[in-house]
């Protein structure tokens, strides 16, 4: 087993726990404010996706609306439960068996194990929340500006034109109105690009994959544990993303782009902000 690598330089003097927690708590509050602004702001000021037209013979938007496999609420539970459980277990293992006498976070000196444990959890989670909010913002802006039609669009829109009459002709329809009185459902039908389920599940999955490798690789007794954990994390993220193709919520390209965005954001936050490799510094 490798010796534990300090994440920060040891502090010369103990500092109060409230001082040590100031930075991660500020990051958490700031990220929540940004998320709230992005999620509620456009609707509050009346911003909607553009009124995109479509080709009358486009088979890709003629699929029926079916029940969602994974709802938005289930997605949020998956993302935050996955990350929280991962951080809680990994940091507990490391604190008890790997680096119980090492100062990994600036400000750990002179504190009890419980205080150090809390500080580590909040610090790592604050980095994930940065990655999540960036991913969520990119996804929301893309959905709002591109206005790509979902595969089930015609079923939820019910346009006031005879679709079947021109189904074999290459005619572009831009002057139409949706007859479905559920405006929220119609607007959602214009938010296909790119997949939020894919981007959010992948940013969580890749963040956990890299985090587990940074903290446990070489310091855990089982050689198979880390790759098996990583396989499970990636598999669950892929399942969440591709479930949106099965339930006609997204085109395949929406899902791939979403997964790419989530993976890139997670990688950049781990490598450039948290700097967990190669010195495994958190701050």
pLDDT digits (tens, 9 = 90+) for 180-214: 999 999 999 999 999 999 999 999 999 999 999 99
What is the tens place of the pLDDT at every residue in 215-261? Answer: 998 888 788 899 999 999 999 999 999 999 999 999 999 999 999 99
pLDDT for 18 equals 72
65-79, 166-180, 189-203, range with the lowest pLDDT = 166-180
Is 251 among the residues known to form the active site? Answer: no
Q: Is the model's pLDDT at 66 over the cut of 60? A: yes
CA distance 188 to 258: 17
pLDDT for 8 equals 45
Give the range with max mean pLDDT: 6-15, 102-111, 187-196.
187-196
What is the tens place of the pLDDT at every residue in 52-62? Answer: 999 988 999 99
65-79, 112-126, 157-171, range with the lowest pLDDT = 157-171
The active-site residue out of 48, 101, 248, 250 is: 250
pLDDT for 278 equals 63
Q: Is the model's pLDDT at 19 over the cut of 90? A: no
pLDDT for 184 equals 92
Q: Where are the beta strands (DSSP E) in the chain?
A: 54-55, 172-173
Q: Is the model's pLDDT at 4 over the cut of 50? A: no
Beta bridge partners, 54, equal 173
| Percentage of residues of the chain with pLDDT beyond 70 | 90
pLDDT for 101 equals 67
At residue 204, φ and ψ (nearest 5 deg) are -70, -45
pLDDT for 283 equals 46
User: How many other CB atoms are found less than 10 A from the CB of residue 57?
Assistant: 13
Would you kindly state where each structural domain of the chain is located, as residue ranges? 17-43+69-148+187-273
Mean pLDDT of 150-179: 89
pLDDT for 279 equals 53
Q: Is the model's pLDDT at 154 over the cut of 90? A: yes
Is 197 among the residues known to form the active site? Answer: yes
Token pair, residue 72, equals 């938005």
pLDDT for 9 equals 45
pLDDT bracket for residue 6 (50, 70, 90): very low
CA distance 204 to 80: 8
Cβ contacts of 139 within 8 Å, gap of 6 or more: 194, 195, 196, 199, 200, 258, 261
pLDDT for 113 equals 85
Mean pLDDT of the chain: 89
The active-site residue out of 48, 51, 197, 248 is: 197
28-32, 263-267, 276-280, range with the lowest pLDDT = 276-280
80-84, 180-184, 263-267, range with the lowest pLDDT = 180-184
């Amino acid at each position: 087993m490798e010796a534990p690598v300090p994440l920060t330089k040891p502090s010369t003097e103990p500092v109060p726990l409230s001082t040590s927690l100031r930075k991660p708590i500020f990051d958490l509050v700031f990220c929540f404010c940004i998320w709230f602004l992005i999620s509620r702001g456009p609707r509050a000021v009346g911003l909607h996706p553009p009124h995109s037209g479509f080709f009358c013979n486009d088979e890709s938007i003629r699929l029926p609306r079916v029940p969602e496999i994974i709802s938005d609420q289930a997605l949020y539970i998956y993302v935050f439960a996955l990350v929280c459980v991962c951080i809680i277990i990994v940091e507990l293992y490391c604190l008890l068996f790997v680096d119980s006498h090492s100062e990994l976070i600036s400000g750990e000196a002179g504190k009890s194990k419980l205080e150090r444990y809390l500080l580590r959890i909040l610090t790592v989670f604050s980095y994930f929340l940065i990655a999540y909010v960036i991913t969520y913002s990119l996804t929301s802006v893309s959905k709002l500006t591109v206005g790509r039609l979902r595969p089930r669009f015609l079923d939820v829109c019910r346009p006031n034109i005879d679709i079947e009459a021109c189904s074999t002709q290459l005619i572009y329809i831009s002057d139409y109105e949706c007859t479905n009185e559920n405006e929220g459902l119609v607007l959602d039908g214009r938010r296909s690009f790119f997949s939020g389920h894919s981007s959010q599940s992948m940013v969580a999955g890749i963040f956990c994959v890299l985090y587990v490798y940074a903290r446990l690789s070489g310091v855990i007794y089982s050689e198979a544990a880390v790759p098996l954990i990583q396989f499970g994390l990636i598999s669950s993220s892929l399942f969440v993303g591709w479930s949106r193709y099965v339930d006609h919520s997204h085109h395949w390209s929406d899902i791939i782009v979403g997964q790419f965005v989530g993976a890139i954001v997670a990688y950049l936050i781990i490598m450039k902000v948290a700097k967990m490799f190669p010195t495994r510094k958190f701050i």
